[in-house]
Structure 1
Amino acid sequence: MTIRDDQLLRSRLRDAFDADPALDAFQLAVDVHDGIARLHGVVGSYAEKLEAFSIARRMADVRDVVNDLHVRPYGADWRVTDRQITDHVRERIGLALVETGEVNFSVDHHVVTLSGLVPTVEERALVRHVVETVPGVDFVDNDIEVGSR
């Protein structure tokens, strides 16, 4: 890719970030070199970090994405306690139709660690997805195993 191609790709990425209502891209920066996008700066939640990565991965002509974004909750999310996160995670896992006895979790300083056993890879991904969108969650460590008893 030429420098001009990288500049155009960077501009398209910025436009896509700014247009996404699920992403507050004010402190999100992107650099592009040889078609490799490097995301850096600050976003307000783990869900926003994943959204920015997803946008960049889907963009035509992006060869790879390096996600160096940092999560620093702002607004009401920074005041969410681990106890509140625990309650919301329990509720979301129930909404995902997962037997709560088969998925365990712990919350420590806004980091959720998942463990347990589910029957499919899709269910493992679903549990992670519903948990990572809980307000106040900075990171999800998904140690859920796939298999049967």
Structure 2
Amino acid sequence: MKTDAILQKDVIAELDWDPSVNAAQIGVEVTDGIVTLAGHVGSYTEKWHAERAAKRVLGVKGLAIEIDVALPGSSKRNDIDIARSAENILQWMTYLPKDYVKVMVENGWLTLTGDVAWDYQREAAEVAVHHLMGVTGVSNQITLRPRVSMSALETDIETALKRRARANAPSICVEIHGTDVVLSGTVHSLSERDLAKHSAWNTPGVRNVTNNIIVI
């Protein structure tokens, strides 16, 4: 296990190694494995890269971010311009439903709201806007929405299991709790167990899957 001193040294080295971060502007403190990053950076993107760099270091138990984004004069934009740019880039995303994600900007801080069907769409929307000039922070409040009723969801999962794991489908039980799915029963291999889990995850509306299937 790394000591706090070694962990601090490793985080500093990782920040120095990342070309997208000006490590000289960021201070690093470590207490009981919890890393605190403090300082000032010139863009939200640089702050985001600093966070990712620290998370890459083995032994980091937690991360506290006290980095301020101090935009240089050439990068400052008013909230209307930032909101317009964010809306435009979201409209151009081919795999994001049109008008499902809303944008709000206050003092450069961009908040995304709305709902989408898949988690990858939620993450892609955030990644698309955090590089925009003038942004000082991003809050992703997009939620996942179920696209089918829970009764239809159970039918879809059971049908997929019968289609893709025909021999073992009768041994698998599907329970629905809101948007959570619990799988139980028995199969004859790990691949079939994984298949059942993937079938559940690939059904629109599912937010969590608990796989209690046993291999016999």
**Which of 64, 69, 78 pairs up with 1:81?**
78
TM-superposed CA distance for 1:28, in Å, is 0.8
Tell me what 1:120 maps to.
118
In 2: Cα distance, 1:40 partner to 1:30 partner: 7
Query: Taking structure 1 as the reference length, what is the TM-score of the superposition?
Result: 0.84
- Conserved in 1, the CA contact under 8 Å of 2:82 and 2:132? yes
Please give the per-residue CA displacement for 1:79-117, whole angstroms capped at 9, x wherever unaligned. Answer: 222233123212321343223311111222211121222
Alpha-carbon shift at residue 148 of structure 1 (Å):
4.4
Residue 190 of structure 2 is matched in structure 1 by none
2:99 maps to which residue? 101
Give unmatched runs, 5+ long, in structure 2.
148-216
Other-structure match for 1:92: 89
Amino acid at match of 1:73: L
RMSD: 2.0
- Among 50, 55, 58, the residue aligned to 1:57: 55
SS of residue in 2 equivalent to 1:80: coil
1:27-86 Cα distance to aligned partner (Å, 9 max, x none): 210011222211111122222222211111120121221112222222522x22223312
User: Structure 1 residue 72 and structure 2 residue 74: aligned?
Assistant: no
| Other-structure match for 1:37 | 35
Amino acid at match of 2:81: Q
Q: Report % sequence identity.
A: 29
Gaps of 5+ in 1: none
Secondary structure, aligned partner of 2:9: helix
Q: Structure 1 CA distance, aligned partners of 2:32 and 2:105?
A: 39
Give the aligned residue type for 2:17.
A
Given that 2:91 and 2:99 are in contact with CA atoms closer than 8 Å, whether structure 1 keeps it comes out as no
Look at both structures and tell me which one has the larger radius of gyration over its CA atoms: 2
Report the secondary structure of 1:7's partner residue: helix
Change beyond 3 A, Cα 1:61–1:141: closer
Q: Which has the higher contact order (CA 8 A, sep 6+)?
A: 1
Q: Decide whether the 8 Å contact of 1:117 with 1:148 is kept in 2.
A: no
Distance of aligned partners of 1:73 and 1:25 in 2 relative to their CA distance in 1, 3 Å threshold: farther
